[in-house]
């Protein structure tokens, strides 16, 4: 449950975006293991990607099925990692197939990465520009000499809490603008930066509460303002 930082949101609306880097933290401390930090790529210097001062070791890892889902059951993503030298096999045998471990997925645009990742530094480095989602390892669905795959679930599915079956963002609406969920079908109001416009081709929602206020549509805001009050 995390808000999308404003600069990250602006980056998503740019015609030319920097590459998006996905960083993985696998926390097995609750099941008797350690914490691991992986990334599927290296930085431009051929070294581990550094984010917020922490290195993410280059290691074959891939996640699928993380799409937002506003209807039906909650997403059940799959995380697949290399089983190089039988590393995962050993952990799975010792730690009950890693079930109960936590997976933290961080998405960061390359332009915001720590300056140490770049030969000439990075004046745009900003450690706050990340989008985080947290998951629990529910089961090991496949284990071979080559790779291991794990089915993930949202923490609320495993602790008995009842929340909507989609990722909860505090100040960001996940509805598609002018969709049935959004409910706004009026004239052009503002662009994606909340700048007024009467040009229908430039009319876009900022995905923020302010966008709904401009359109007198606060009742259909697709974010969860109250989750800012929840403990992390």
CB 70 within 8 A of CB 77: no
CB 185 within 8 A of CB 205: no
Across 110-146, the runs of DSSP E, i.e. the strands, are 131-143
pLDDT recorded at residue 229: 45
pLDDT recorded at residue 40: 95
* Regions of the chain where pLDDT drops below 70: 1-3, 9, 11, 13, 15, 67-74, 156-171, 224-232
The whole-angstrom separation of Cα 174 and Cα 167 is 9
Please, what is the Cα angle at 108 between 104 and 113, to 5 degrees? 120
* Nearest by Cα to 69 from 140, 137, 157, 142: 157
pLDDT recorded at residue 230: 45
Domain parsing of the chain, residue ranges:
6-158, 169-232
pLDDT digit string, tens, across residues 33-56: 999 999 999 999 999 999 999 999
Q: Which residues pair with 147 in a beta bridge?
A: 82
Q: What is the distance, to the nearest Å, from the Cα of residue 33 to the centroid of all Cα atoms in its chain?
A: 24
The whole-angstrom separation of Cα 144 and Cα 151 is 15
- Measured from the Cβ of residue 105, the count of other Cβ atoms closer than 10 Å reads 18
Using DSSP, state whether 29 is helix, strand or coil. helix
pLDDT recorded at residue 210: 85
């Amino acid at each position: 449950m995390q808000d999308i930082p404003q600069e990250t949101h602006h980056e998503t609306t740019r015609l030319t975006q920097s590459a998006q880097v996905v960083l993985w933290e696998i926390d097995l401390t609750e099941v008797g293991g350690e914490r691991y930090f992986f990334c599927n790529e290296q930085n431009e210097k051929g070294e581990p990607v550094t984010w917020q001062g922490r290195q993410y070791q280059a290691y074959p890892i891939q996640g699928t099925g993380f799409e937002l889902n506003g209807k039906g059951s909650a997403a059940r993503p799959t995380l697949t990692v290399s089983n190089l030298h039988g590393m995962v096999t050993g952990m799975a045998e010792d730690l009950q197939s890693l079930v109960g471990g936590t997976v933290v997925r961080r998405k960061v645009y390359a332009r915001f990465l720590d300056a140490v990742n770049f030969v000439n530094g990075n004046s745009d480095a900003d450690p706050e520009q990340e989008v985080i989602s947290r998951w629990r390892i529910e089961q090991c669905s496949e284990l071979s000499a080559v790779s291991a795959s794990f089915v993930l679930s949202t923490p609320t599915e495993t602790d008995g809490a009842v929340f909507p079956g989609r990722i909860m963002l505090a100040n960001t609406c996940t509805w598609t603008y002018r969709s049935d969920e959004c409910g706004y079908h009026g004239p052009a109001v503002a662009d994606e930066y909340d700048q007024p416009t009467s040009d229908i081709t430039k009319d876009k929602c900022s995905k923020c509460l302010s966008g709904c206020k401009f359109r007198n549509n606060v009742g259909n805001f697709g974010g969860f303002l109250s989750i800012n009050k929840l403990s992390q």
